[in-house]
Structures are given as C-alpha cells and as structure tokens.
Amino acid sequence: MNKSELIEATAKEADVSKAAAGNALDAIIAAITKAVAKGDTVTLVGFGTFSSSKRAAREGRNPQTGAKLKIAATTVPKFKAGATFKTAVAGKKAAAKKK
C-alpha cells in the first residue's frame, strides 16, 4: 500500500474527503518526524513507538574493492511495534486482558 492508497482507505474508513484524509496524514507524519528529530519518543498505544537511536562511528568495507572506509556516527529513526499490531500481523486474536 502506498501513500495515496492509505489516504483513500483512511477517507473511506473515517467517512471524510480524500483531501481531508491527506491533510491529516501529512500533519501526523510531520508531527512524528519533528518530535523524533528533536529526540522525543512518540508512542501510539497498541500500534508502536517511534524514537531515535544513536549509531556509533564504525569501520566498513567497500564490497567491490575490499578497501576500508570510515562510517561516521549518526542518529537514525527507530520503530518498535506494539503488542496489538504484532498480534494483528501474526493473524492471531488479541488475548483477553486479565482482571
């Protein structure tokens, strides 16, 4: 599914126009991107958590020549799926909560 298909599915599910669904999706993506870029964590309960992670500098190799090269330290985005999302993808029914 690409972005336009996601917008179409969202518009149909929420019973709103495609333009409104597109604007909402763009706003959500922008807010998540801005928060994670600042170093914050964004948690959507049941779906997952977006965060950033620091990757240390390391030494790599060019696969064609075998020459060593330095890979600079960087910060990368990270996503950890939530339990409800994992069970849905696995095709299992969500476990009943204990009282």
Give average pLDDT by consecutive 10-residue segment, the chain, 99 residues.
96 96 97 96 96 96 94 96 93 64
Name, in order, each residue with C-beta under 8 angstroms of 81's C-beta and a sequence gap of 6 or more.
47, 48, 89
> Does residue 80 contact residue 49 with C-beta atoms inside 8 Å?
yes
Q: What is the pTM of this model?
A: 0.79
Q: What's the CA gap between 55 and 97, in Å, rounded?
A: 37
> Does residue 70 contact residue 61 with C-beta atoms inside 8 Å?
no
Q: The tokens of 98 are what?
A: 């204990």
pLDDT at 97: 57
> Does residue 78 contact residue 51 with C-beta atoms inside 8 Å?
yes
